[in-house]
Structure 1
């Protein structure tokens, strides 16, 4: 609430209306700092699991599925990752949490991101979206500045936007579907302009329906990384006719969460080199 109090000149001049009007001081409370108290433990799918649950195991969860490529995603809460073990278990790619909002950087990012590369995995970075704290453009800039960029070295995947249920309050971060869709577009446009690649969008179908009104304007530009913990991929959000990556399981004794790229390893390599995402 804003308070209006007489300024020092008004007090010296007495109670005259002109003097009081001429020396008004407007006092406003300081804006509360954004809450990052859960940032260490927010990672791709934590809130999706909390809201949507786990519905059995995938029908196929092996590393040798001919038309799917196994990968992981990790974040700082896991600490240093044994990427040799991950590669030995069949993983070919990974995504690593880099940032959240405009106020948190994964303290394990260098070990996780560079370690995956050293072990021969193709790796990319993702950003945990906080539409409640700043604009999409500001968060895309922050992400790129803190490890989320792309380079055409053949081993770096384009960045991903993790947009899911709010761990700090209202599921849609206090935004209506039109404003949420505009926020996502602000992020993806900025990322494309500055990283020269289209960002993947990580989400669940239920969240997308609830918080964007099932917006269909991203399927032709931004590959879909779908979270669903069940035996099948299931319904996709509007605008996408296929997923590029399916996050099908949490943990499971392997580093991070479990994902399938929708195609053989050659498609993952092509995406890293600059090709558009394609399914097998």
Structure 2
């Protein structure tokens, strides 16, 4: 997940991007994520997908979706409201995510902007906790860590998380790649105990090494294309467990 123009997919370039997809009938072909048939399918979208066929995606097996709400403190997905409401109307558990630009403003400022523009949460079983998308800088390849030291990056993430919890009562799900996390935070393990991990790793039948500190993942983005709109994801559990996670229990 990145810009709302055609995504730059820096994370996909780090890891070889071979085709990985689930069949619609639930059978797992060779090369698909391990144990995928026992997990819950979902996807994530931004304004790039515009008007999504929510009912069609649910018929193909999707049970959840994350939708891009904001970026920095000056961008809101113009399709966010219709996407957020449309997904709920189709019976999908949905949540919002924020694309971090740590070099533009503070973590607290970006979290507050996110909450004001779609990043809220309710313990209703239909709303996933807000997610923080933090990955390689899509606007400046020479400054993949946004020009921040590792200590400043960790402090930025903490400020974002603290403000989000203050305003919503939930810690954010953290979306990242193992490579970015270890390179740009220095392998900080400070967040694993109370932040669910949304790991991005494409082109593999296994999630591979996790970022420092985490011993398990909650969401896995395993491809940027497939039978569902946008990026293809799995939740590590059943639909019932997903609803429990959404409620915060």
Scaled by the length of structure 1, the TM-score of the pair is 0.80
Aligned equivalent of 2:98: 127
Whether the 8 Å contact between 2:33 and 2:206 is mirrored in structure 1 is no
- The equivalent residue for 1:226 is 199
TM-fit CA distance, 1:55? 4.7
State the structure with bigger RCO (CA 8 A, min sep 6), 1 or 2.
Answer: 2
Q: CA deviation at 1:62?
A: 9.8
Q: Distance in 2 between matches of 1:63 and 1:209?
A: 27
Matches within 5 A, 1:71-110: 71-110=42-81
Q: Provide closer, same or farther for how the CA distance between residues 113 and 63 of structure 1 changes in structure 2, counting only shifts above 3 A.
A: farther
Q: 2:4 matched to which residue of 1?
A: 40
Would you say the 8 A contact 1:157–1:271 is kept in 2? yes
> How big is the shift at 1:51?
3.8
Q: CA RMSD in A?
A: 1.9
Give the Cα–Cα distance (whole angstroms) in 2 for the partners of residues 61 and 242 of structure 1. Answer: 15
Number of the residue aligned with 1:238: 212
Higher Rg of the two aligned structures = 1
Deviations 1:158-178 (A, max 9, x none): 100000000111100000111
Q: Which digits, 9 at most, give the CA deviation of each residue in 1:153-206, with x for residues without a partner? A: 210001000000001111000001111011001101111111101110000000
Superposed, which structure 2 residues align to 1:180-199 within 5 Å? 180-199=153-172
Alignment gaps of 5+ in structure 1: 1-37, 276-280
2:238 equivalent to 1:264: yes
Question: Which segments of 5 or more consecutive residues in structure 2 lack a partner in the other structure?
Answer: 22-30
Number of equivalences: 236
Q: 1:250 to 1:63 in 2, by over 3 A?
A: farther
Structure 1 residues 42 and 226: alpha-carbon distance in aligned structure 2, compared to 1, 3 A threshold: farther
Q: Which residue of 1 aligns with 2:89?
A: 118
Q: 1:254: how far off?
A: 2.2
When the two structures are superposed, what TM-score results if normalisation uses the length of structure 2? Answer: 0.90
* C-alpha distance after superposition, 1:193-221 (max 9, x if no partner): 11101110000000001100010000001
Deviation at 1:240, TM superposition (A): 0.7
